[in-house]
Amino acid sequence: MKRFTVSGQWQGSRLDRFIRASLPGTPFGVTQILLRKGLIFLNGAKAAGNARLRSGDVVAVNIAEAEEDGRSKQAPRERVARISGIGIDVPVIYEDDALLVIVKPAGLVVQPGNRAEMGSLLDLLEDYRRKRGEPPETGPPFPYTPVHRLDRQTSGALIVAKTRPAARALSRSISHGGVVKTYLAVVEGVPSPGSGEISTPLETTKGARSHSAPAAHGKTASTSYALLKRLPGGRAMLEVSIRTGRTHQIRAHLASIGHPIAGDKEYGAPSRSGGRILLHAWKLEFRHPETGATLALTADPPDDFEMRPGHGRGGTSR
């Protein structure tokens, strides 16, 4: 039997949502089965999923039977869910009640303002939210909201908040450097030395097409890189990490040392990458906004990327 004491932040919340946050990765349907079987107790008594919690309540789960039910109802971790619509599929590599992490394809815009023909990620997320069929809450539903940005031509892992508290907590974590982001970048030329840190301040010119450039009076920015592999055609694959999130930070910083990202004509690269910028958001590591567990998630680069490192798709929590 596993027991949880309800903290003040869960005052008034539903029991089934508390269970899913306390047992990350448990699907909504599995939680409902456990409740119907009487495997979940609130202050020693069986309770319905819509029971409202109070600070100090004790929730207990018959964990042995719960895990058996979970194994029988969940798909293997290697299978990846997908958000489908407007002619494209978006893989989901992690999801629970508070958030999901998706793999954004290159060419898909996040905001609907410049949607062109493809639509936007927000369109897909809203359609996905409506189809989930989860119990309604009081008041208008919270729209699934990306908490950081990826440029249109950048592919890779993107965190999406499903609740307002999760959005606030994740935004605070990002602003304080609590989300570690690691990218793959194919660049023109081979940096020497093969690793280093670029800490040049950046100034961004806003407009129809924003552009960032080194400037002594610009905002603080820090980008670390390490050579992974030399590639044909005088290119190199780099692993790139950032903690600050300035506009076009990686693109501007790598261009500033003479190694623009392949295909990034705006920052000085020749156009020979099939129309896309070869930058991919590869890994994310952050604390879950509700449980505090560390999530380490990896998104494999797409097939049109020039190298696929030997790491499987998926993620772990610890």
Mind telling me the catalytic residues?
151
CA terminus-to-terminus distance, the chain: 20
Can you tell me the distance from the alpha carbon of 271 to that of 231, in angstroms, rounded to the nearest whole number? 17
Angle at 187 between CA 182 and CA 191, to 5 degrees: 90
Cβ contact 240:228 at 8 Å: no
For residue 76, with 0-12 CB atoms within 10 Å meaning exposed, 13-18 middle and 19 or more buried, which class applies?
Answer: exposed
How far, in Å, are 105, 127, 187 from residue 130 at the CA level? 22, 5, 40
Can you tell me the distance from the alpha carbon of 279 to that of 251, in angstroms, rounded to the nearest whole number? 9
Cβ contact 306:278 at 8 Å: yes
Can you tell me the distance from the alpha carbon of 19 to that of 2, in angstroms, rounded to the nearest whole number? 11
Residue 241: phi and psi, rounded to 5, are -125, 140
For residue 16, with 0-12 CB atoms within 10 Å meaning exposed, 13-18 middle and 19 or more buried, which class applies?
Answer: buried
Angle at 93 between CA 89 and CA 99, to 5 degrees: 105
Does the CA dihedral 80-83-84-88 come out positive or negative? negative
For residue 183, with 0-12 CB atoms within 10 Å meaning exposed, 13-18 middle and 19 or more buried, which class applies?
Answer: buried
